Amino acid sequence: MTPFLSLPEALSPADCDRLIALVQAHHLKDAGLVRGTTAHSIRRAEIAWLDDIPQAAWVMDQLIGLVAQANREGFGFDLTDFGESPQVARYGAEREGHFDWHSDIGAGNWAAKRKLTIVIQLSDPAEYQGGTLELRPDSNIATAPRTRGTATVFPSFVLHRVTPVTAGTRWSLTLWSHGPAFR
C-alpha cells in the first residue's frame, strides 16, 4: 500500500479562487475536534462545511472521481460513501493557525468510518509561510506538496499535522471517504 498519493491539478487555480471566495462570503467558525470540543493548543483554525454553502455543490462532483482514482492507484480500500461534508479550513498567521499531530479516525459516528483523507491545497504557496502539511506514515515524516490545486490522499489512520502558519494565510479543502471498519 502507498503511504500517500499526490494528485496534481485536482482543482484549477480558478476553482481554488472560486472556492475561497465562496467560503469568505460565508460565516467561518472556530475549528474544533471530534464531538465539538475545542483545544487551541491542538488546533487553531477557522472552518466552513461546504454542505452549508449551496453554491459549492460543484466541489463534490469534482472530488468523487478523484477519490476513486486515488483508491484504485494506491489503496484498494472498501469505500462505500461520503458521509461528511467537505470542509474548508483557514489557517491564519494572526492566530498562528495550526493542527498538531492527529489521525482522522475518531470516536464520532462518521469519524469511526473514515478510510481515506483528501487534502487539497487551495492557497498559492507564495502567499504564506509555515503551514506545512506533514505526514507520518511510519517513523519518518513526509512533506505534502504545496502546489496550488494538488490533492494529497492518505489513509485516515496516518498521523499528520499542519505546522503553524507564521505569515499570511493557508487555505485547504479536506474530504473524507468512508467504508466498513478496517480489519
Three-state DSSP state, 103 = coil
CATH code of residue 67 = 2.60.120.620
- Residue 79: what pLDDT? 96
Nearest to 113 by CA among 64, 179, 176, 158: 179
The reply to whether 57 falls in a domain is: yes
pLDDT tens-digit readout, 25-76:
998 998 876 656 666 778 999 999 999 999 999 999 999 999 999 999 999 9
pTM (predicted TM-score): 0.94
Q: What is the mean pLDDT of the chain?
A: 93
Domain containing residue 128 = 5-32+40-163+174-178
Domain count, the chain: 1
Which of the four pLDDT bands, split at 50, 70 and 90, describes residue 181?
A: confident
Residue 168 belongs to some domain of the structure: no
Asked if residue 169 is part of any domain, the answer here is: no
One-letter amino acid of 65: G
